[in-house]
Structure 1
Amino acid sequence: MDASTLEIDEKGAFWKKLQPYIAEALQKLQLKAKKGNVIVAENDPMRFLGALFAGILNGEAVFLANADWSYDTWEHFKRIVKGGYLFSKAGSEPYGIEIQENRHLGHIMIPTGGSTGGVKLVIHDWENLKGSAKGTQTFLGGGAINSACLLPLYHVSGLMQAVRAVISGGDIAFIDNKSIKHPNDLPRLGEGYVTSLVPTQMGRLLQNKTGEQWLKQFDCIFLGGAKTDETLLEQARAAQLKISICYGATETASMATAMNPETFLKGGNGVGEPLGDFGIRILNTKPLEAGKIKITGPVYKGYYPSLEPRNKIFDTHDRGMINEEGSIIILGRDDNIINTGGEKVDAEEVADAIRALNAIKDVFVFGIQDQEWGEKVVSLVVCDERICNSDTLTTLLKEKLERYKIPKEWVCVERIPLNDAGKVDRVMARRIVLENRTEQSGSLINLENAIAARHSQLKAMLKALLNGKSEITLEIGCGHGDYLTAYGQANPKEFCVGVDILAKRLRKADNKRQKRGLNNVLFVKTEGNELLEALPEETKLGKIFVLFPDPWPKRRHEKNRLIQANFLESIATYSAEGTQLFIRTDHDGYYEWAKEQIASSQHWREDTDATWPFEQETFFQKLADKHRSVIARRRPASIINK
């Protein structure tokens, strides 16, 4: 593949500048035995784009990544993308084990926060990126696009500025986002430049006249990524800034719609009209009525690793309408995604991370409208008020979440407000935050010590009770203890441990154990991962039971399912060769999901010859009309390391 095949303008200023960087990266890729995964995580923008285009030209499967992701985010990424050739700030080298048959050659995987939390990789090909870029080029008049880029290249909004430049024969000036705080240091550019900003950036630039003057040099300022406060838009109109409010997503390779700057200056509302080959569908029953927004055109090919049919329609989970002028009006999210400062944050992911701190009894995370950020991430927390300290919680979450996902406001409450249906009363929750706002400060509370003490206590208890045992049988989510007590009684030589997070269930389970006089069964109030981390080094898992786990049937909630790649990897760490994993469910979708997760795991294989070791009807099994079982076995280390 060459530049002409990609329809790149080889005479363009920026493409010429990239040539030595592309050549350097291509030289490294051509030393590989075969094409495969290429992960681009360079900090330097020219090296980043050199590796990106080298991967595209060489027909590789290219993955974009942020060199400065947190440790947990990188671990999550590596569980998804198990191996490849990594370009990073530390150098370039292969890592992990690549899959034999790579279905993603010729595709570009772009990270997004999305609705599943963690890292989700959106699959595009060059045709998609080119189609999006050409739509923007036509909108701007058809000539070369010169951009001032203040957005990260691993993010679709930064990436597409580079794609537009090479497609149109334009140029790019890369500007450090931190310069916004010091407008006097921002460079003056030549004529004919455009830029892309999120509302947070524009708001900070408009705080003083120097920033305002800098913005006036642009022929067009694309403004998107989050809802913009009307006060900020009026300020931009007063300054006669050529704003184009736009709308899109990683799934649409950036902008799918844009408003003409002249329309904006005349007081126009909405996000304009579709660009290029994009189409907008509003699922309503009457004209001028609100409905769900769907986008057609050069949209994504799926979420990695699932490649889906080409004729896709992107369900945005937004609600909107088309006004009498033909402009699309975005009314808000249809799910629990918070758009803050141009980034997508999954409220459930943030809540899960807060709950994992162990000191929290309950939590509710949501977004509230904010002039600077579009939406601000806030959290209600239920815990001992001595440890409900925003500075401490923020510090602990930095290891778990990206900075923009961490709540900017915290409010301690006695309980999360519920409505008559037993669901969170969102209206009341917002009222509580607005009436009890606190800044991220307060007295010093050492929550880390509390967590460390809990871990130390659990570790000491297990060491004393297991007393040097080399193997245990573990049930995760043991519920009322029906299965494990019966199993322990039938297998007195096995030491059985059941874990659950609900104290009421565990009390019932322990009553059953005591009635049967079982000394080889132990019930512990904790999460599975916490117990594993506290296991003595000499103790391994012999059998693992997961019976009737929560199926989380909605697609957007699949990330909450227990059986995931990271879970399988975690339990494998504490398992011996030949350890068996027994899964039983009454949900067909979960059954197929479990089989797929095991099939894609390098640590486990489905053992179709094995039989269920012991039958005992559980509380949840009694409620089910049917059930299906999956049995997996730990692979030998010699096979895994090949």
Structure 2
Amino acid sequence: MAENVTVNIRDIASRLPDNWLIGCDSRELFQIVDRLFPEFTKNPAATPQKILLAEREPVQFLASFIAACAAKCPIFLCNPNWVKQEWQQVFDLVQPDIIIGQDALQNLTEMGLMASPIGLTHGWSETEFLSENTALQPFNRAKNLVSLVLMRKFCHIEKPKNNPKLPLTNYQLPLIMIPTGGSSGKTRFTIHTWETLTASVKGFQEYFQVSQINSFCVLPLYHVSGLMQFMRSFTTGGKLAIQTFKTLKNGEKCDIEPEEFFISLVPTQLQRLLQNPDTANWLSGFHTVLLGGAPAWPELLETARNYQIRLALTYGMTETASQIAALKPEDFLAGDSSSGQVLPHAQVTIRGANGEILCNNQMGDIVVNAKSLSLGYYPEKWVDREYFQLDDLGFFDKNNCLNIIGRSSDKIITGGENVFPIEIEAAIRSTNLVTDICIIGLPDRHWGQVVTAIYVPAHSQVTVKDLQAAIADKLSKFKRPKNWVIVQQLPRNYQGKVNREHLQEIALQYIGAEIEDTAVPCPYGDPF
């Protein structure tokens, strides 16, 4: 039976110093926790209330998350910027009791998914609403504090009778549902617990040999990459600095000592920061710069080495509560570009087509077993958590470092040859003729699939012939793109991951079956 650690969550918060949260008011955060906790626990005999947390403001988000976890409420982390279709999907799946988030509530009202105006569904005035819900008064009256709405009273959507039950027993609460969409763009929630998240923290501590973890967070808190930075600092007594990436890119920096902090970035963020020598030099002062979320290209890594940035290439996912493998910064600076060795809380094997474990330098499917592994996708629990096969292909080298080849589902088979997009993308990036690139396979009656490049040219004078000439000595003929599609930008999410299904639709729409070696500009000014 899992240990019930949630009773200690508020104790952890109470022991943190006032300067724990850099750039924000730690005392305000704990005051909000104290106000929210009674609301979440006022009916302990009933089924715990399911909470959608879509708060944009960091203090409000963290306070709500801490209070919900301490109250053992199932909590679903949500992107405040989801569109109506995504919100409708989440509503149908979760059927929530409570939504927290000022902007999200306003957007939901405008989308027609919530009653408008909030709180006046039954003809109440604001005063009557606040009087009826006294526990909510501090949040509805105070500017920039948490907006909290009870769905059973104030939502247009009525809960159906087939409301899904929680897949786990109470002693394993709180359940922490973290959104993941992969490259398809379809949102689903991985089921985590306090135990799985803290297992990831402990593995991180041991691997990097640190006791207190100070985190500088520029990633969304509702995503595993941002949430785990909070968890590392919160549970180890470290400091947490939070800043938007936009302000950091513009040159604003928190008042911290970088050498004491870990910062997490995705490749596109690192690329933008390296374009400014001042910011690049500032990054070189960090204890460790964790890089993950999407493949990094060789030129980006070489630029980081030139600035002596202590980069740690990582491999992980929402299902494993962030990284399960990481490259030590000193190995990166020495020229290693692998994903490093496996962290102590995880086991990774490379498997062949029949499930057999492969030796070093043999490519196969990546299979994971980790203490931090999620319990399933809401509302279903996985039957076997000891054998989690990923869509990724890779191998271990002679130093037991994990090397990622690419996604098995992204593999292109053209004329019987296997082609991996990551190799072609790296070759085209190295020409410096594109600012962004994605390789996909399109159906072809002769070859099975044809390699197709969707790219953003570095300048208007770049032609297909230029690109073809630049990669002629870099790629075998069967790996060179047959179709070229120009776009103004690729549909990437905040992690830098590309929505390949969307690109497939665009490419199929604007490339005829017989068109070869032709650049077809997308007619939209900004198609994404």
Whether TM-score is above 0.5 comes out as yes
| 1:210 partner SS | helix
Distance 1:371 1:320, change over 3 A: farther
- Matched-pair contact (CA < 8 Å) for 1:380–1:410: no
Quote the offset at 1:138 in angstroms. Answer: 1.7
Tell me the equivalent position of 2:16.
12
1:128-167 to structure 2, matched below 5 A, reads 128-167=196-235
Task: Give the counterpart letter for 2:375 in structure 1.
Answer: K
State the alpha-carbon separation in 2 of the partners of residues 60 and 176 from structure 1: 28
State the alpha-carbon separation in 1 of the partners of residues 228 and 185 from structure 2: 23
Quote the offset at 1:93 in angstroms. Answer: 1.3
Tell me the equivalent position of 1:30.
41
In the alignment, is residue 92 of structure 1 matched against residue 141 of structure 2?
no
Task: Give the counterpart letter for 1:141 in structure 2.
Answer: Q
| 2:75 partner SS | strand
Quote the offset at 1:51 in angstroms. Answer: 1.3
The equivalent position to 2:512 in structure 1, one of 412, 415, 435, is 415
Distance 1:60 1:10, change over 3 A: same
Quote the offset at 1:30 in angstroms. Answer: 2.5
The equivalent position to 1:197 in structure 2, one of 265, 273, 276, is 265
Cα offsets for 1:567-620 (capped at 9, x unmatched) = xxxxxxxxxxxxxxxxxxxxxxxxxxxxxxxxxxxxxxxxxxxxxxxxxxxxxx
> Please, which runs of 5 or more residues in structure 1 have no aligned partner?
341-345, 352-362, 373-378, 382-387, 418-428, 446-642
| 2:312 partner SS | strand
Task: Give the counterpart letter for 1:94 in structure 2.
Answer: L
- Matched-pair contact (CA < 8 Å) for 2:77–2:177: yes
TM-score by length of 2: 0.66
1:476-625 to structure 2, matched below 5 A, reads none
Cα offsets for 1:537-568 (capped at 9, x unmatched) = xxxxxxxxxxxxxxxxxxxxxxxxxxxxxxxx
TM-score by length of 1: 0.55
Tell me the equivalent position of 2:77.
64
Quote the offset at 1:103 in angstroms. Answer: 3.3
| 2:279 partner SS | helix
Task: Choose 1 or 2 for highest CA Rg.
Answer: 1
Quote the offset at 1:310 in angstroms. Answer: 6.4
- Matched-pair contact (CA < 8 Å) for 2:9–2:70: no
Higher relative contact order (CA 8 A, sep 6+): 2
- Matched-pair contact (CA < 8 Å) for 1:134–1:167: no
Cα offsets for 1:279-333 (capped at 9, x unmatched) = 1110144431111111111211111110124643322211101111221110011
Q: CA RMSD in A?
A: 4.0
The equivalent position to 1:214 in structure 2, one of 265, 282, 287, is 282
Task: Give the counterpart letter for 2:150 in structure 1.
Answer: P
Higher mean C-alpha displacement, 279-288 vs 159-168:
279-288
Quote the offset at 1:102 in angstroms. Answer: 3.3
State the alpha-carbon separation in 2 of the partners of residues 364 and 88 from structure 1: 45
State the alpha-carbon separation in 1 of the partners of residues 267 and 227 from structure 2: 18
- Matched-pair contact (CA < 8 Å) for 1:179–1:185: yes
Quote the offset at 1:101 in angstroms. Answer: 4.3
State the alpha-carbon separation in 2 of the partners of residues 52 and 69 from structure 1: 19
Distance 1:115 1:203, change over 3 A: closer
| 1:83 partner SS | coil
Quote the offset at 1:79 in angstroms. Answer: 1.4
- Matched-pair contact (CA < 8 Å) for 1:144–1:168: yes
The equivalent position to 1:295 in structure 2, one of 368, 375, 382, is 368
Task: Give the counterpart letter for 2:33 in structure 1.
Answer: I
State the alpha-carbon separation in 1 of the partners of residues 164 and 6 from structure 2: 26
- Matched-pair contact (CA < 8 Å) for 2:393–2:406: yes
State the alpha-carbon separation in 2 of the partners of residues 366 and 293 from structure 1: 26
| 2:398 partner SS | coil
Distance 1:127 1:261, change over 3 A: same
- Matched-pair contact (CA < 8 Å) for 2:49–2:74: yes
In the alignment, is residue 170 of structure 1 matched against residue 238 of structure 2?
yes
Quote the offset at 1:193 in angstroms. Answer: 0.9
Distance 1:144 1:371, change over 3 A: farther
Quote the offset at 1:106 in angstroms. Answer: 2.4
Distance 1:316 1:371, change over 3 A: farther
State the alpha-carbon separation in 2 of the partners of residues 279 and 249 from structure 1: 14
Distance 1:217 1:324, change over 3 A: same
Quote the offset at 1:11 in angstroms. Answer: 3.0
Quote the offset at 1:83 in angstroms. Answer: 2.6
Q: How many residues matched? A: 394
1:221-240 to structure 2, matched below 5 A, reads 221-240=289-308
Distance 1:130 1:441, change over 3 A: same
1:442-453 to structure 2, matched below 5 A, reads none
Distance 1:100 1:266, change over 3 A: closer
In the alignment, is residue 272 of structure 1 matched against residue 340 of structure 2?
yes
- Matched-pair contact (CA < 8 Å) for 2:9–2:69: no
- Matched-pair contact (CA < 8 Å) for 2:267–2:292: yes
| 1:187 partner SS | coil
State the alpha-carbon separation in 1 of the partners of residues 225 and 359 from structure 2: 34
1:310-329 to structure 2, matched below 5 A, reads 311-329=385-403
Cα offsets for 1:86-123 (capped at 9, x unmatched) = 11124211225283843355211110113664211111
Cα offsets for 1:232-272 (capped at 9, x unmatched) = 10010110000000000001001111010000000013100
The equivalent position to 1:185 in structure 2, one of 239, 252, 269, is 252
Tell me the equivalent position of 2:417.
none
- Matched-pair contact (CA < 8 Å) for 2:439–2:454: no
| 1:231 partner SS | helix
Task: Give the counterpart letter for 2:512 in structure 1.
Answer: R
State the alpha-carbon separation in 2 of the partners of residues 3 and 169 from structure 1: 17
